[in-house]
Structure 1
Amino acid sequence: MNWYLLALSKYAVVSGRSRRKEYWMFVLINLLINVVLMLVDRMTNLYSESWEVGLLSGVYSLFVLIPSVTLMIRRLHDSGRSGWWFLLVLLPVIGTIMLFIFAILDSSPGANEYGPNPKEFV
């Protein structure tokens, strides 16, 4: 849960680097929260069939949109890539696959142009 809160505390910070563990723990907890909220939406009739979204899960998704993007940018920085690589998400399939691969890759060793390696501080 600390990794999730750490990502939220850096709400709009795009500078620096984020470890793989920080990124994937945020993704996992975010997924779990979203699944629970979607179930609550279904059980309380807050799900809109025409819009295919629930009220609670929709509001939550909007709340974590900016932290998710900034975390991915910091993750790209950790592998030595510019945050502009995030624009690959605009390519329907191949862009998402490439960002997934970049998120899996290990940190670039030592400091890079985006800051010191966050693994060295643990």
Structure 2
Amino acid sequence: MSEFPRANVYETPIRSAHRRATFGLAWRNFFRRYFEFKGFASRSEFWWVQGPLAGLSLLLNLPEEGAGAGLLDSPFVAIPVLLVSLFLLIPTLSLHWRRLHDAGLAGPWWFLSLIPGPGTIAVLIMTLLPPRPERQKREWA
């Protein structure tokens, strides 16, 4: 048995502070909890999903070397990317919401990320905060 017990992701706010999500568990929860804005998401559960999504977004938006045009300039790439992005919008938002709850913050703080620059950085910092069980509210569970 490992040092950290496998956590039940549907627990109430009073739960193990050492919860660690694996890559597979994080992605499984990402899709299983598609419309679930209540609850909590650990930092590992959040970053196992957001890290690859951010990396993929960065790669798709980089211009091709010397051409000045990116992959998204082609409709054969842009349309599928748009459809996938729309499909992932709600679960990404709910994952952010649950991560903010885990850090002891209300989910609506996510709307700061709509402010380009400082708002995005503020929400990024909030997602890096450690769990704060003492600030978590029962109605978030």
TM-score (norm: length of structure 1): 0.73
Larger radius of gyration: 2
Q: Deviations for 1:28-47, whole angstroms, at most 9, x for unmatched residues?
A: 233466578x5xxx9xxxx6
Q: 1:69: which partner in 2?
A: 93
Q: 1:56: which partner in 2?
A: 80
Deviation, structure 1 residue 16: 0.9
2:33 equivalent to 1:20: no
Alignment partner of 1:29 out of 40, 45, 52: 52
Aligned length: 106
In structure 2, the residue corresponding to 1:12 is in which secondary structure? coil
Deviation, structure 1 residue 57: 1.6
Letter in 2 for 1:9: R
Q: Would the aligned equivalents of 2:104 and 2:135 in 1 still touch at CA under 8 Å?
A: no
- Equivalent-residue separation in structure 2 for 1:14 and 1:5 (angstroms): 16
**Unaligned runs of at least 5 residues, structure 2:** 1-23, 65-70
Does 1 or 2 have the higher relative contact order (CA < 8 Å, sep 6+)?
1
Quote the RMSD (CA, aligned, Å). 2.6
Q: Deviations for 1:38-73, whole angstroms, at most 9, x for unmatched residues?
A: 5xxx9xxxx66288x612222111110100001001
Q: Alignment identity in percent?
A: 29
